[in-house]
Amino acid sequence: MGKILAILGGLIAMAGGGYLLYLWWQPFKDVLKGVVPVVLIFGGLIALIAGISSLRDAARTKKLEEEAKNEEKK
């Protein structure tokens, strides 16, 4: 019974969401116009920070490997 109730509840929620989206299409578009650029800016910032961190880690690893090779030669 619980599974059927969950399916019915999901269908009702989808129908209600579709109806409200139809009624509030213009405000929904206005919200998207304000949210999408901010998400893109912050997403790009996170990607930039991750890329810089990855480059630093790679350089640090290379430096440590070179130091280990130099110590093995001694």
pLDDT tens by residue, 2-47: 888 999 999 999 999 999 888 988 988 899 899 999 999 999 999 9
Which two three-digit tokens encode residue 40? 């893109």
pLDDT for residue 74 is more than 80: no
Count of structural domains, the chain: 1
Q: Is residue 1 part of a domain?
A: no
Structure tokens at 35: 């949210």
- Domain-located, residue 17: no
Task: Map tokens 């019974």 to a residue.
Answer: 1
**Residue where the block lists tokens 């901010």:** 38
Q: Domain range spanning residue 53?
A: 25-74
Q: Can you list the positions of beta strands (E) in 1-74?
A: none
- 4 domain-assigned: no
Q: What is the DSSP letter of 71?
A: H
Lowest mean pLDDT among 37-41, 54-58, 65-69: 65-69
Query: DSSP assignment, residue 74?
Result: -
Would you say residue 44 lies in a domain?
Answer: yes
- For residue 15, being part of any structural domain is answered with no
User: Residue 1 above 90 pLDDT?
Assistant: no
Q: What is the pTM of this model?
A: 0.61
